[in-house]
Amino acid sequence: MEYQVYQDLESIIEILEITQEELARDIGVSRVTVNNWHSGKAAMNDSNIKLLYEYAFQKGIRLNKIKEQFYIEDYIKEGEILLFHGSKKGIEGRIDVCHSKRINDFGKGFYCGESLEQSAMFVATYPDSSLYMLKFNGEGLNKRVFYVDRDWMLMVAYFRGGLKEYENSEVIKQLIEANAGIDYIVAPIADNRMFEIIDSFIDGEITDVQCRHCLSATNLGSQYVFITQKAVDRITLLEKCYLAGAEKEFYLTSRQEGFKMNQDKVKLARKQYRNQGKYIEDILK
């Protein structure tokens, strides 16, 4: 799937109410070049694609957010949901859950998010990353829903390899067995800061109640984890979206702005809920 760069070219000209000649001047190419792009006589190379999208974002055009709104209004029907997948290198061929990494929040699977910003932010540090918009219809499929609670904390810790000394615990066995026959999972998104908090719980530094409240302070929204091919086959890729460098920086900066407040709440949660709940060894012994 390629970028819809020529449609986006038309959209940029329409939004800014400029001529092809004005666009050519602004991005540093000839009017003939832009005309050839617009008419389909010439293809845009990677350098020119980058120029175009950087220019649009710097002009205040949020193409990906506009597309999100149009998809919700025109393409998402009852029983469907619009999701986003941030990709470091792009999706080649058919989506196959068998070739995904094992060390993820819920093991192997195809991971998507409900938030455009969060999905883009997770791949914003990679130079060739892009964003996919897709729709999913889960009718007739088996799903499991997690919340910011002990079960979710333990599942993420297990699949991330943090509970090796407790892998024979009956609590862990029951949590894993409950995934039998499940096609997809809906659960909170975890990032590196969340893993640090969960590690504190695993290491016996904080209780499950402290951990839960600390994690709630850094909640990033929900992710969809497709763990069977049956579920993946219900995904329809809608569009591959370009992430301009300025757009990536925008998402990273926005995320950083909320970091300090979240960290302050984590500190207070550790204190306020001290000695409440159970430590890991009491839960899994």
The pLDDT assigned to 266 comes to 80
CA nearest to 190, candidates 122, 255, 261, 251: 122
Tens of pLDDT, residues 31-42: 999 999 988 888
Q: In what order do the strands lie in the sheet with 143-145?
A: 143-145, 184-188, 222-226, 110-113, 80-87, 130-137, 235-242
pLDDT of residue 213: 87
8 A C-beta contact, residue 235 and residue 136? yes
Structure token pair of residue 109: 């699977």
Residue entry with tokens 């209780």: 207
pLDDT at 95: 86
Question: What is the phi-psi region of residue 275: left when phi exceeds 0, alpha when psi lies from -120 to 50, beta otherwise?
Answer: left
Q: What is the pLDDT of residue 257?
A: 63
Confidence of residue 48 (pLDDT cuts 50, 70, 90): very high
The residue with greater pLDDT, 1 or 51, is: 51
Q: What is the mean pLDDT of the chain?
A: 90
What is the predicted pLDDT for the residue at 285? 79
User: What is residue 30's DSSP assignment?
Assistant: -
CA distance 82 to 77: 10
Tell whether the model's pLDDT for residue 70 goes beyond 70.
Answer: yes
Report CA 153 to chain centroid distance, whole Å: 19
At 16, list the tokens: 């800014």
pTM of this structure: 0.90
pLDDT (tens digit per residue) in 132-182: 999 999 999 999 999 999 999 999 999 988 898 888 899 999 999 999 999
For residues 120, 95, 142, 160, the Cα torsion angle rounded to the nearest 10 degrees is -60
pLDDT above 90 for 74:
no
For residues 35-54, give the mean pLDDT: 90
The SS3 call for residue 268 is helix
In tens, the pLDDT along 188-242 reads: 988 777 888 889 999 999 999 999 988 887 767 899 999 999 999 999 999 999 9
Domain boundaries, the chain: 62-284
The pLDDT, as a whole number, for residue 275 is 83
Residue 218 φ then ψ, to 5°: -115, 20
Instruction: State residue 168's pLDDT score.
Output: 87
